[in-house]
Structure 1
């Protein structure tokens, strides 16, 4: 028992000492000024899109995760008429673009994006801005999808970033996931002026997922890490994410809307 008490006392003293000394060391090494992580690690800096790019509106490419066409904003998850039937929480969450993705084929060796966000809350205390309001790019390699880069939302409402340099030449297929806990009014993909870009082929009827926050994407660090997106890549199938954070309560009016979707399967 005495040994246990001594060990606890030793750890307490060690913690208090470190807590008091380390900030002093940091301040002295930086002249007493706070230093942003981007100044220490340049990899943390967002990369701006290059000048002279050719921009393509994603609405003209292959969009997956969109179950309805009669929406107020193109990237809403429920139709405008749902405003009169579902409760306010579900309606507001349906304005988030969770699960929506853009598939395209391009010869570009670099891919950029710019997107217009609808809400100025770029992040949450428990979820980073890259997941809440960012973009996430994957490339198809054989039968697998591999992560290429993400778009960090650095300001509101207009964001712009180079997503990735592409290490392989020729035509490649990509999928770009949209924000999980924010809405978007417009998304564009930028490629060099001499690169071709076109929609990818449709993949058939989607798998529809219905649930709450974990399904919507909380608290994934990137949109492509929400589990419906992961399953979509694994199965090479389109998915529709109808996760409503804290509000997946099987309300009849919500289920009636979901039943309108021509799906290959429903996961409730």
Structure 2
């Protein structure tokens, strides 16, 4: 009896992908008419990195490393190509034991405009490799379609090239509603741990529903609210709003009580009228066996409520608090991979809850009625 047979040999759909055609022209997405979005400093630095190569302020070494992870980055364009492929060189191999390599290191592809985007495919490759060349789709038609490629969530990308049919037409993507950006700062959950593929992180889900650029500044284990991160984030131009979702990395309630008011104050000095949304954490599974975790979470929950109410009473009518207790919806017990990091189901519910909050904060132009 044979016992050790690879599933990919038994089921072709489980096999890693391959390049099906050599009739391709390779394009650098850093060049017009492609648009690279989701990296706040890309226009000046042209790197797939989430903070500047040389920040104006000292930042933690771990944040500097994690900034190379390309979570939230997107390549957008329109084409009539009958074939789409990618050629990718990563900075390191897949190495996570609770997150699929397709989410950590892969790209995925959507077609269509915001509000109508349809998932097509994800790069599946030999995870022992640093480089891969894969076809994302082939089609019969040659109509002009909008393309969105989502970057890997938990790995760096040294190079990515876009393969299109010979003589394919390439045009800029459909425009955003305006040039403002939704900026989010937080933890591994925000970075995308542990989505099965890039498009399932909650910021990427939201980007398919709200027609603005999203800047993902989630730093795994290291979104701790340091003042210099507040100063750095304050330099991002044209903010539509700032979402602070870093409570899970706050280290202690005492430290959180220091960093959150300071972070808000630093940002307010630069942006007195930009909406700020403070999001509290959802309950982790271990609260059931360690009640002290619940006590600590409820302490921070109460603190955040009182802080936001205090700031509102002092005249800040642009700050909002979101109680994260039910962020995972009715499936809190099944919405994570490991009791803390959401799976795709959890991320869908997070996006659903936060979409309404964002639309309310962004105003009439982004209301549900306007979007419909």
TM-score (norm 2): 0.60
Corresponding residue number in structure 1 for 2:13: 43
Describe the shift of the 1:168–1:228 C-alpha distance in structure 2 as closer, same or farther (beyond 3 A): farther
Distance in 2 of aligned mates of 1:141 and 1:228: 16
1:169 is displaced (CA, Å) by 3.6
Does the aligned pair in 2 maintain the 1:116–1:159 contact within 8 Å? yes
Corresponding residue number in structure 1 for 2:241: 265
Paired residue secondary structure (2:117): strand
Does the aligned pair in 1 maintain the 2:77–2:172 contact within 8 Å? yes
Does the aligned pair in 2 maintain the 1:119–1:157 contact within 8 Å? yes
Distance in 2 of aligned mates of 1:142 and 1:66: 19
Alignment of 1:65-80 (within 5 A): 65-69=38-42, 74-80=47-53
Distance in 1 of aligned mates of 2:66 and 2:117: 28
1:267 is displaced (CA, Å) by 1.0
Describe the shift of the 1:167–1:266 C-alpha distance in structure 2 as closer, same or farther (beyond 3 A): farther
Higher relative contact order (CA 8 A, sep 6+): 1
Describe the shift of the 1:141–1:255 C-alpha distance in structure 2 as closer, same or farther (beyond 3 A): closer
1:84 is displaced (CA, Å) by 6.3
Distance in 1 of aligned mates of 2:89 and 2:122: 16
Paired residue secondary structure (1:144): coil
Does the aligned pair in 1 maintain the 2:186–2:219 contact within 8 Å? yes
RMSD: 1.9
1:246 is displaced (CA, Å) by 1.1
Does the aligned pair in 1 maintain the 2:83–2:138 contact within 8 Å? yes
Describe the shift of the 1:74–1:247 C-alpha distance in structure 2 as closer, same or farther (beyond 3 A): same
Deviates more, 1:133-142 or 1:230-239: 133-142
1:206 is displaced (CA, Å) by 1.6
Describe the shift of the 1:167–1:240 C-alpha distance in structure 2 as closer, same or farther (beyond 3 A): farther
Partner of residue 238 from structure 1, selected from 213, 218, 224: 213
Deviations 1:2-51 (A, max 9, x none): xxxxxxxxxxxxxxxxxxxxxxxxxx2xxx25111111110112332221
Corresponding residue number in structure 2 for 1:130: 102
Distance in 1 of aligned mates of 2:207 and 2:141: 24
Does the aligned pair in 2 maintain the 1:46–1:161 contact within 8 Å? no
Does the aligned pair in 2 maintain the 1:82–1:91 contact within 8 Å? no
Corresponding residue number in structure 1 for 2:123: 151
Is the radius of gyration larger for structure 1 or structure 2?
1
Corresponding residue number in structure 1 for 2:23: 52
Alignment of 1:74-89 (within 5 A): 74-82=47-55, 85-89=58-62
Structure with the bigger percentage of strand: 1
1:142 is displaced (CA, Å) by 7.9
Structure with the bigger percentage of helix: 2
Corresponding residue number in structure 2 for 1:255: 230
Does the aligned pair in 1 maintain the 2:114–2:210 contact within 8 Å? no
Describe the shift of the 1:86–1:93 C-alpha distance in structure 2 as closer, same or farther (beyond 3 A): same
Distance in 2 of aligned mates of 1:83 and 1:158: 33
Deviates more, 1:256-265 or 1:158-167: 158-167
Corresponding residue number in structure 2 for 1:114: 87
Paired residue secondary structure (1:159): strand
Describe the shift of the 1:118–1:72 C-alpha distance in structure 2 as closer, same or farther (beyond 3 A): farther
1:247 is displaced (CA, Å) by 1.0
Distance in 1 of aligned mates of 2:109 and 2:29: 13
Distance in 2 of aligned mates of 1:95 and 1:232: 21
Paired residue secondary structure (1:59): coil
List gaps (5 residues or longer) in structure 2: 245-372
Corresponding residue number in structure 1 for 2:313: none
Does the aligned pair in 1 maintain the 2:185–2:216 contact within 8 Å? yes
1:69 is displaced (CA, Å) by 3.6
Corresponding residue number in structure 2 for 1:228: 203
Paired residue secondary structure (2:195): coil
Corresponding residue number in structure 2 for 1:93: 66
